[in-house]
Structure 1
Amino acid sequence: MSAKVAFLGGGSFGTALSIMLAKKGLMVNIWDRDQHVIDDINVKKENIKYLPNITIPYNVKGFTNLEEAIRDTEFIVLAVPSHVIRTLCKQISSKVKRNQIIINIAKGIEEETLKRLSEVIEEELPNNQVVVLSGPSHAEEVAADIPTVVVVTSKDMKSAEKVQDVFMTNKFRVYTNDDIIGIEIGGAVKNIIALAAGISDGIGYGDNTKAALMTRGMSEIIRIGTKLGGKKETFSGLTGMGDLIVTCTSMHSRNRRAGILIGKGIPVEEAIKEIGMVVEGIKACKAFYQLKEKLNVSMPITDVLHKVIFEGKDPKYGVYELMSRDKKDEIYKI
């Protein structure tokens, strides 16, 4: 395959996917504003800051100039945190060509508008097809060639199938799913539940508690997801159940790790600083709290987590609050 791919953002997941595609024989560009990251990629063939101890192939090149990075590429991957998506799209809007497919790998919704990220991208890049890649996929494992399965979606499924062909390897399996709403919402809300699961671990609670959080968290994902137009069956797939499992149980998950620190009593800002990367679950909690209020959707775990993160509620009291709610049927309104 001779496709050329540009990754905008030199973080861990973008770098891991770059390495994977380079091993497949593709020419890959990585753009990042941090000159040190780019120098390490080009000179040391390693992303020391975000993905240390993994060798980057020769056919991956780093750039600090956006226009040079995306020139003559067929696919542009947005590999930046959710809150940077609109700004980055504005930066490249005058530089992209109509035939370049935009691939988003960030998970979340925009805080200010409460729009899905594909909607944000479409507003800024109206002439380009947008594909979303999501699913249970830690960067560290992708980079180490550990078998991983993800899903791609788009309003234009022909574009999604092109991305499927580009990213498929014998270690990285890609499915298609035409439910773009469900894929995006599942991938975003699971970060909230993973943060809560981490807090539970940090407090010292056990498997019973985590199982409850994950199961009832899935109910919240389904309620908000279907309210927004997603298909219920999507949430039992890779971007719902799959992503929820991996982020709630793995120490690769920055959301879980941040939650563990908060559960141990470390202030939120200090926890974020210690993780050293964006904790999407915190941003997602704020955004989905606003959205569920607007849509009148019951999301009790999100409610309590919002109080813990933004109002200083003691996490143990938050769990007591969840456990002391009025009795109800398990399947009601799911």
Structure 2
Amino acid sequence: MAKISVLGSGAWGTALAMLLSDNGHEVLLWSPFAEHTEELRRTRKSSALGGLELPAGMQFTSDMKKAGERQDAIVLATASVYTRGVARELRPYVKTGQLLVCVAKGIEEKSLLFQTDEVQEEIPDAVVACLSGPSHAEEVARRLPTTCVAGAADSAVAEQVQELFMNRVFRVYTSTDVKGIELGGAVKNVIALAAGIADGLGYGDNTKAALITRGIAETARLGVKIGAHWETFAGLTGIGDLIVTCASMHSRNRRAGILIGRGKPVEEAMREVGQVVEGVYSAKAALALAEREQVEMPIVDVVNRVLFSELPAAEAVRMLMERDPIAEWNYL
């Protein structure tokens, strides 16, 4: 049994805390909001997960010192836009060699760093890993069969994360391709916005399939350019995560895209979804990274234009369809 803190009491952090508690670990769930912590203690139910009852042994805190000290592992599960700030607040309480597991998905807009890079920059003495894959919080919390990938530069660290999380309904694979895992997790949210926009416009399955397959193609192009492995994008954290995010109404990115496709302004769509829409925050960073690496990402490009340059959604689709004819793969 391990002592584990989960930082972030939203749907994903709470679902993972439930999973870890099921595995027999001593789990402490941290929220930055004292009133939310008190609500969790009092009701032992998660409003973020539709009122699901929380395991009896799970504890709660808003004290970062308590969450950070003397833990075997710490899971960073806040939205990606808050990762650096939370890591900076955590830093004074982290011991050398502390295992930190990043489970948010995104690229920092200013630095173009992935989540593990941000955390490592803020806490250089920690051992940083990630956990990613096609895993809606609502289904993990209901103990529905799910598969993910634990990623770390050192395979032994990835195996340590695998051992903490894996059980009969949550299967975990390992990988040392951290860049590929994190790029796939970040860009899939942008592609899911595009898929939602297409749904909002009333397009069908053909359009969705085109966005998924061409979306993974442009993500893989960028991934290989930054040193990731092509095979990663054919796996759970590539095409797997992209499929589930583009197809499910659990996906806040797809839901926001549907509203945008129906003509709602971006800010209004985000308010209506009621949760952080990660793809909106990752879109600019993904495009900037592609431009830095001189990689063409047409879907990411038009999503940025729809979000930030008032390009009509239907016009964005026309632009994609009327691009110059090319071969599907360069080797052809």
Q: Same fold (TM over 0.5)?
A: yes
Give the deviation of 1:39 after TM superposition: 1.6
Matches within 5 A, 1:184-223: 184-223=182-221
Asked if 1:21 corresponds to 2:58, the answer is no
Contact 1:26 1:59 in 2 (8 A): no
Are residue 250 (structure 1) and residue 230 (structure 2) matched?
A: no
Q: Distance in 1 between matches of 2:148 and 2:135?
A: 7
Deviation at 1:47, TM superposition (A): 1.7
Superposed CA deviations along residues 7-37 of structure 1, whole A, max 9, x for unmatched, are 1111101100111111222111111112232
Partner of 1:43: 42
Q: What residue number does 2:257 align with?
A: 259
Aligned mates of 1:40, 1:225 — CA distance in 2: 42
SS in 2 for 1:33: coil
1:295-310 → structure 2 map (5 Å cutoff):
295-310=293-308
Deviation at residue 289 of structure 1 after TM alignment: 1.2
* Aligned position for 1:233: 231
- Conserved? CA contact 1:223–1:333, under 8 Å: no
**1:202 positional shift:** 0.6
CA contact (8 A) 1:129 1:156 kept: no
Cα RMSD of the aligned pairs, angstroms, is 1.1
Distance 1:333 1:98 in 2: 47
**Native 8 Å contact 2:98 2:125 kept in 1:** no
Distance 2:33 2:89 in 1: 16
Per the TM alignment, residue 71 of structure 1 is displaced from its structure 2 partner at its CA by 2.6
The whole-number CA distance in structure 1 between the counterparts of 2:134 and 2:331 is 27
Q: Equivalents in 1 of 2:149, 2:293: separation in Å?
A: 27
- Counterpart AA for 1:126: P
Structure 1 match to 2:8: 9
Distance 1:271 1:60 in 2: 34
CA distance in 2, matches of 1:99, 1:126: 9
Partner Cα distance (1:110, 1:259) in 2: 21
Give the Cα–Cα distance (whole angstroms) in 2 for the partners of residues 23 and 322 of structure 1: 46
Distance 1:10 1:320 in 2: 41
Task: State the distance in 2 between where 1:254 and 1:75 align.
Answer: 28
CA deviation map 1:237-287 (0-9, x unaligned):
000011001000000000000000100111100000111111111111111
Q: Deviations over 1:158-202 (max 9, x none)?
A: 121111101010000000011111111111111111110000001
Structure 2 match to 1:100:
98
TM-superposed deviation, 1:305:
0.7
Q: Quote how far apart the aligned CAs of 1:100 are.
A: 2.1
**Aligned equivalent of 1:130:** 128
Partner residue, 1:145:
143
**Aligned-pair distance for 1:40?**
2.2
Give distance in 2, aligned partners of 1:92 and 1:31: 11
Structure 1 residue 129: Cα displacement: 0.6
Greater Cα shift, 198-207 or 151-160: 151-160
C-alpha displacement of 1:69: 1.8
Which amino acid in structure 1 is aligned with residue 46 of structure 2?
N
Q: Deviations over 1:139-171 (max 9, x none)?
A: 000000000000011122212111110101000
The CA deviation at 1:73 is 1.3
What does the per-residue CA deviation read over 1:211-237, in whole Å, with 9 as the maximum and x for residues that have no partner? Answer: 001111011110111111100011000
Quick one: which amino acid aligns to residue 45 of structure 1? R
Question: Which of 260, 271, 274 lines up with 1:273 in the alignment?
Answer: 271
What's the secondary structure of 1:313's corresponding residue? coil
For 2:296 and 2:273, locate their aligned partners in 1 and report how far apart those are by CA, in whole Å: 30
Q: Quick one: distance in 2 between partners of 1:145 and 1:129? A: 29
Deviation at 1:58, TM superposition (A): 1.6
User: Counterparts of 1:33 and 1:91 in 2: how far apart (Å)?
Assistant: 11
Cα distance in 1, alignment partners of residues 290 and 19 from structure 2: 38
Q: In structure 2, how many angstroms separate the alpha carbons of the residues matched to 1:333 and 1:106?
A: 35
Give aligned pairs, total: 332
Aligned mates of 1:330, 1:163 — CA distance in 2 = 37
**Secondary structure at the counterpart of residue 46 of structure 2:** coil
**Are the counterparts in 2 of residues 134 and 239 from structure 1 also a CA contact under 8 Å?**
yes
Structure 1 gaps, min length 5: none
* Alignment-mate amino acid for residue 235 of structure 1: F
Contact 1:151 1:176 in 2 (8 A): yes
Q: Report the residue type matching 1:168 in the other structure.
A: M
Q: Is the 1:150–1:175 contact (alpha carbons within 8 Å) kept by the matching residues of 2?
A: yes
Partner of 1:55: 53
Per-residue deviation, 1:333? 7.3
Identity percentage of aligned residues:
47
- The answer on whether the counterparts of 1:122 and 1:130 sit within 8 Å (CA) in structure 2 is yes
Measured in 1, the distance between the counterparts of 2:188 and 2:279 equals: 8
Q: How many Å separate the matches in 2 of 1:136 and 1:22?
A: 21
Structure-2 residue corresponding to 1:34 = 33
